[in-house]
Structure 1
């Protein structure tokens, strides 16, 4: 558990990096992805946060390394609200999409959950006094999103899996991916919280990471 800035923490790595944002309001804590291990999420309490204060979880895409712990969260926290883009909603809410969820890759089963809201294109979720700008960035999957939060004068970009990979089973699209990366570059984010490569700051390092991976997939 590591505090990144002000109200943003890196919970740890469990299949993917899991992040949490404290809205400092009655709306409690917002997870960015859930990873694969519910016990990892429970570990937020070592930093003084309360597990039962998790009231929202924004899923950046449908892959099981980002969503497997959701079913456990739903059982332990019955009021939790899950959000994902509509183009990735079916694999999250329905069984039988093992290729789309990458469950085949891990050799495990995915337990579906119900979404509170399916996001269309770009959507801003106002939770407490904080705005979570959910940007549609297709490429890795059709419904991949990035989440942007501004806190302590810094623009934080939760850009999970900006590195890929790309696979026909995921319905990946490299042309969409390149356009999505071009779009993220225009944000000029101060901090990047990536899904598997960690945390990048300041702004120049964020740009370098995105540009390097974009160029790699131009070849």
Structure 2
């Protein structure tokens, strides 16, 4: 666990990296993905934050390593609000989508949760003092999103699983992926918080990471 920049934190790695934004308002804390369970999230007090202040969770896509902890989180915090793109909503909200959630890869059973809001295309969420640009970046899955937040004059990009993998069972699309990666490059982000490979900065390192995977994953 560590602070990345003012009011933005890396909560930890629980099959995927989980990040958190403090809105510094009555909207409390916002999670970017939930991981597989609450093992890491429960201990955010070490960052000077309170677990009970988590009010929102933005899900970048429907894979089990990013959404597996949602049901447990919902039981602990019944009023939490979940957000995801409409094209990945069904596997999150309904049972029977093990192929799309990759739950079978991990040998676990996914427990669905209800979304507070299904996002359409690119969507901006204003939560307290923070603006979350939820950018539709299909490729890894049809409803993959990346989230851009500004802090201290820097653009922080939560770009989960920009490396892939790509699989027909996920409904992956490499042509969509190429367009999505160019969209992210055009943002000129200063900090990249990736889903499995850590945090990249400054802007040149962010660009290098995205371009490397864009080149490697040609259709």
Question: The TM-score by the shorter chain falls in which range?
Answer: over 0.9
Structure-1 residue corresponding to 2:100: 100
Is 1:52 aligned to 2:52, yes or no? yes
Q: Secondary structure of the residue that 1:38 maps to in structure 2?
A: coil
CA distance in 2, matches of 1:165, 1:49: 33
Instruction: Assess if the C-alpha contact under 8 Å between 2:156 and 2:189 holds in 1.
Output: yes
| TM-superposition CA deviations, 1:36-95 (whole Å, max 9, x none) | 121210111111100000000000000000000000010000000000000000000000
The TM-score, its normalising length taken from structure 2, stands at 0.99
Aligned 1:77-116 pairs, distance under 5 A:
77-116=77-116
Superposed displacement of residue 176, structure 1 = 0.2
Q: Secondary structure of the residue that 1:113 maps to in structure 2?
A: coil
Q: Secondary structure of the residue that 2:40 maps to in structure 1?
A: helix
CA distance in 2, matches of 1:14, 1:39: 8
Aligned 1:132-143 pairs, distance under 5 A:
132-143=132-143
Aligned 1:121-160 pairs, distance under 5 A:
121-160=121-160
Structure-2 residue corresponding to 1:17: 17
Q: Secondary structure of the residue that 2:183 maps to in structure 1?
A: helix
Q: Which runs of 5+ in 2 are unaligned?
A: none
Instruction: Assess if the C-alpha contact under 8 Å between 2:37 and 2:70 holds in 1.
Output: no
CA distance in 2, matches of 1:206, 1:83: 25
CA distance in 1, matches of 2:199, 2:108: 28
Instruction: Assess if the C-alpha contact under 8 Å between 2:14 and 2:39 holds in 1.
Output: no
| TM-superposition CA deviations, 1:146-185 (whole Å, max 9, x none) | 0000011100000000000000000000000000001100
Q: Secondary structure of the residue that 1:105 maps to in structure 2?
A: helix
Superposed displacement of residue 104, structure 1 = 1.0
CA distance in 1, matches of 2:127, 2:35: 22
Q: Which runs of 4+ in 1 moved over 4 A?
A: none
CA distance in 2, matches of 1:195, 1:127: 22
Q: CA RMSD in A?
A: 0.6
Q: Which runs of 5+ in 1 are unaligned?
A: none
Structure-2 residue corresponding to 1:119: 119
Instruction: Assess if the C-alpha contact under 8 Å between 2:33 and 2:60 holds in 1.
Output: yes
CA distance in 2, matches of 1:147, 1:39: 24
Q: How many residue pairs end up in the alignment?
A: 219
